[in-house]
Every structure is written in structure tokens, then in C-alpha cells.
Amino acid sequence: MFISSERTHTIPHAEPRQGRAWQLCVAPMIDVTDRHCRYFHRLLAPKARLYTEMITTGALLHGDVARHLDFNREEHPVALQLGGSDPAELAAAARLGAKWGYDEVNLNCGCPSERVQKGAFGACLMAEPTLVADCIKAMQDAVDIPVTVKHRLGLDYDDSYGFVRDFVGSIHDTGCRVFIVHARNAVLKGLSPKDNREIPPLRYDMAARLVSDFPDSIFVLNGGLADTNNSLQALKTFHGVMLGRAAWHTPGVLSALSVELGHVDEAPSDEAVLQAMVAYAAEQTQSGVPLRMVVKAMLGWQNGRPGARRWRRMLSDQAMLKNNDPQLLRAAWAELA
């Protein structure tokens, strides 16, 4: 059950007038929320806050920076999510993000994958709140944009509220005032990342206690928000909602929420979105981007509509995609009833 409360906010490193900026967010999802996906989501939700996939500090400091950080100007507001645990490296990566024009830098303290565990970051960091505080402080000293945290409620099977309260408290002491709470524990051994999104129970009531205990902070709820109704219900308690798999499997929910939240007067027509994506696909394929990369975020867009299966099949057909012809989108659209 969600608990309503009165709230007043003073937000260092996130100006007070930005309080509504986190009202609707799309979660960082590995192999999903690339710049093409974010461009599509922006068409559906003009004021949603969009997050990159988690990008490790090593990838930025020793890899192709432009490949990882380039984005379309239409994506604003867009946040860079970083994975790492070394304060100096995170500060350097945050500087790159700010230089590139990102509106926020977010530290991942919630991913439970084996790869992340081997690197001793992601959800592992929740066991080291002092180190996380050092990382946040280093990033705050390096950039002028908001530095935020995405975390779980706990690790493994420790369900105590004190654990997450003390973790948030340590970060709060740095001046960080924006927390994205995936309202489940992260089980580090025995569960896959997919299982970690589904098996640990959701505990919205515990996440709501953070709202009461840190009244000068913004808390965005993540986890299990599958549709418009439960997102609106969550917003009675939390300052924002972050949708992950729902935005991927049924992206139309972003348009519906944008209308309900007053971000737009009416949702864009499907035809207008299609036309924009055809134009975008033409621009991208001309610059060498494979069409499959552009259209993969659109596969679930027409779910529930007659012909949606044919839509998905055509946009997944490797032979058709190999031609890199943006008109494939129009051909698939013609299959919808």
C-alpha cells in the first residue's frame, strides 16, 4: 500500500525548480536504452527523463568515448548512468558526461549481474556506503549537474529497513538529494539478473519509509510498475516513477502517462510517431547505422492491436532488415488492422 505525505524539498545538486524533472523516468536497461531507443521514447514522452544503459568507467576512460556518449539533442533531459567503484575514475567519467552535455550523472548501485559483481560495483556497493559516499562526493566535485544514485532496498535476504536507511543516510550526507529506489533486494548469488527483477518481493512500503525519513530529498520508485494506474498510484507517495520493462514491452504507456501527468495535452498520433521514426531511420541508415538497431525499440509499440504479431515479425526479419530500407516500417505498418 502506498502512503501519502506532505513534502517540502530543498535539493542541493538538483535545483528545487527541477523537482518535477524526475516525475516520469525510463530506466537504464543494458542492450535496450541506446540512443535510438531513447529517441523513440522521447517521441512518446516529451518530458520524461531518459537514462543511458549503464556505462562502465573503464569503457569511457579506455574505450571509444563517442560511441558510448553520443546522443541526439532531442533526447534532453537525458542522464548518463555510470558503473564503477573508484572515486577518481568516476569523477573523470562524470566530467566526460558533463562535457558531452548530459543533464545528470547517475551511479548504479543496483545491478546484480555476475559481470558487475566481478568488478565490485553495482549492487555490491550497497555493502560499502562509505565508499559510495566517496564516489558521489568525487563526482559532485567534478561536475555542476545533478549526481544521483540508483539502488536496491537491500542485499540477499536481509530485509531490515535499517540497512537501506543507513545506506541512503550516508549518501544524503554528501548533499545528494535524488535517489532512485528499485523496491526489491538484490540477491547476489543464485539468481540471474532476470530473476532479480522478478523473484525478490517488492516492498513499496519500505521504500515509502525513506520518503518520510528524508523529507528534503526526491525519491523515484522503480520496480513492478507495469501500467498507468499503478504508476499514478505510486505518485501519491513518491516524487517520481521509473519504468523499465513496461517501457520496453508496451511503450505506449509512456504516452498515456505523459497525458495523465499533464506533460502534454494529448498523446502524439501513431501516424506522427511512425513518420518521425521513418525520417530518423533514413538519417541513421545513411550514416551507417543498421536498421535493426533503430527499430528494435519499436517491436512492442503496437502490442494488443490486431496485426501486432505481423508488425513484430517483419521488424525482426533479418532478411528484410539487411536491406537497411526505412520503408520497412511503413510496410510493417500496413500489416496492422
Residue corresponding to grid cell 535539493: 11
Q: At what angle do helices 87-100 and 129-142 cross, to 10 degrees?
A: 40
Chain-centre distance of CA 6, in angstroms? Answer: 26
d(C-alpha 95, C-alpha 153), whole Å: 29
Q: Residue 244 gets which letter from DSSP?
A: S
Sign of the torsion angle spanned by Cα atoms 63, 66, 67, 70: positive
Structural contact between residues 96 and 63, judged by C-beta atoms closer than 8 angstroms = no
Structural contact between residues 157 and 187, judged by C-beta atoms closer than 8 angstroms = yes
Q: Helix (H, G, I), strand (E, B), or coil: what is residue 25?
A: strand
Question: Which of 25, 37, 111, 135 does the annotation list as catalytic?
Answer: 111
Structural contact between residues 60 and 93, judged by C-beta atoms closer than 8 angstroms = yes
176 included as an active-site residue: no
d(C-alpha 188, C-alpha 160), whole Å: 17
Q: Residue 101 half-sphere exposure, CB side, CA atoms within 13 Å?
A: 10
> Facing residues of 126 across strands?
none
d(C-alpha 330, C-alpha 298), whole Å: 13
Q: Give me the active site residues, please.
A: 111
